Amino acid sequence: MKVYDQVVELAKRRGFFWPSFSIYGGESGLYDYGPLGVLLRDNIVRIWKESYLADDAIFIDTPVIVPASVFRASGHLDKFADLATECSKCHNRQKLETVLEASGFHNIIKTVPEANEFLANNVVKCIVCGNRITSATEFKLMFRMPSQGSVGDLYLRPETAQGIFVNFKLLNNFYRNRLPMAVAQLGKGFRNEISPRQSLIRLKEFSQGEVEVFVDPQKKFWKDFTGSHRLNLLPRSGAPVTAEVTSSEAFPLMSSNSMSYFIDKTASILRDVGINLDSVRFRQVPLNDLAHYSSDTWDVEVRIDDDWVEVVGIADRNDLANHEKSSGETMSVKMEDRTITPSIIEPSYGIDRIFISVMIHSFRTRENGFKVLSLPESVSPYHAAVFPLVNKDGLDKLAESFFASLRKKDPYVVYDQSGSIGRRYARQDEIGTPYCITFDSQTLQDSTVTVRERDSAKQVRFRTDDLVSAGIIGNPAIRDAFRPSVPQ
Ligand code: GAP
């Protein structure tokens, strides 16, 4: 069974995520985050946010409903579409790219006439019933609202970015007219996907953490830095290479210092949330496959079973010039003795795809068949679980009172007194809780408890008052006791 399928099963059973509206038959491409999913996702978002705060980014929150004028200027109204096929026999609808790949074709086709000519001359089959596919159509990806705004149609945004671009002047004023400037937005995006699939991977409603980095178009410089990872790089031309990206403007593989900086930074964020960088690749998008707004893009792809899934796109874009032209409002700024319209480097993070990648890369099966989510402590929904070994002899009362005190220090703890101790450990392992604290008969003698570390299953005794005063996460005594099995 694929790890993806095992994780999707665990996610539903243990309260991470599941298909929405299932009592009414469900709706493809819509998913709920359950109680543990909300906590895990918050932690991923916090790490992303703190990483950008450390780079002096400022944050904004803009509406999901956007007037057509914005998307006319950005090019989305005309160009944000996919080529689709519909099988004439079973009526299954797919992206053209998907049916081509399933029939062994990996070429990039951008227009309907080109697609129809290709389908007339090559045998491409429906991925469901095997019937031959002979034509393609253009499928617009934005959802249009049924009601109009005061100046025309309204759309649900397919990316959060435009809300930042249209506010560039106000934001730069807030930032005291300095450049470079990074502005981030976390929010929902909506796409009328042709074939929503694979749970969180292709959704109609999804979360993006987008950062728009405004830079001088001549240099596209962010800052000097030392590359901190060896990355698997697939440049547009030339052989794949594993290398550290550097801040040097001469670094031949990347178009700018900003592009290399945000590639390296993205690797740090993905590593910190629990994605294994050995199973990540940075792929420069071929020129004929770039989005309409981009002159250069590196996709960050994560390995999931035998597939590579894009979780982040880092694009070089030039949207301010479009908005200046369409709105008549100037988007230029003074820089030393020049007036410039900034270029934009945009690391755009798909939070849902990162979320499922974290679960998949953390998933292990023990020799006894039990499942473990080896999540980093910093993203685990709970930091610790507290158990009384038995619910008698006053152990339960002691454990409850300890739990109440611990929870004042750290709210991300949980109490569990039901079932055998083995079952309780197994339950916490499956949801990624790094530590289980058990009250047993010795606790009554010397006020010590066992702390069991998830990955090694090793147990060490600690005094209850030491745990309450120093907490669990970041407690040096716990780190020392379990190093090196504790994920750093
Ligand atoms: N502003 C640029 C932009 O939106 P994108 O590559 O289309 O670029 C960025 O999207 C990220 O958003 C992707 O790398 C992916 O992780 C996520 N994403 C895009 N469409 C998605 C969908 N239908 N479901 C889930 N995530 C999606």
Q: Give the pLDDT confidence of 152-190 residue by residue, as tens digits.
A: 999 999 999 999 999 999 999 999 999 999 999 999 999
* Token reading at 417: 């007194």
Query: Which domains, ranges and CATH numbers included, belong to the chain?
Result: 3-74+141-360 (3.30.930.10), 81-139 (no CATH), 382-482 (3.40.50.800)
pLDDT cut 70: percent of the chain above it: 98
Q: Looking at residues 419-440, what average pLDDT do you find?
A: 97
Ligand 1 lined by 161 (C-beta under 6 Å): yes
Q: How far apart (Å, rounded) are the C-alpha atoms in residues 354 and 352?
A: 5
Whether the CB of 348 sits within 6 Å of ligand 1:
yes
- The pTM (predicted TM-score) of the whole model is 0.96
* Cβ 311 under 6 angstroms from ligand 1: yes
Atom of ligand 1 nearest to the CA of 210: 1
pLDDT at residue 484, rounded to an integer: 61
Burial class (CB in 10 A: 0-12, 13-18, 19+), 443: buried
Cβ 52 vs Cβ 182: under 8 Å? yes
Residue nearest ligand 1's atom 18 by CA? 350
Dist. CA 80 → ligand 1 center (Å)? 13
Does the beta carbon of 450 lie inside 6 Å of ligand 1? no
List, for residues 364-390, the tens digit of each pLDDT value.
999 999 999 999 999 999 999 999 999
Confirm if 275 and 361 have CB atoms less than 8 A apart.
yes
Mutate to test the pocket of ligand 1, among 186, 208, 210, 358 (most ligand atoms within 8 A of CB): 208
**45 near 351, Cβ under 8 Å?**
yes
Q: How confident is the model at residue 255 (pLDDT cuts 50, 70, 90)?
A: confident
- Read off the pLDDT of each residue in 455-464 and give the average, rounded to a whole number: 97
Helices (H) and strands (E) in the chain, counts: 16, 25
Over residues 300-319, mean pLDDT: 97
Average pLDDT over residues 386-413: 96
Determine the Cα–Cα distance for residues 404 and 470; give it in Å rounded to an integer: 15
- Pair of tokens at residue 294: 């981009």
The token pair at 119 is: 């389908």
Ligand 1 pocket residue status of 203, Cβ below 6 Å: yes
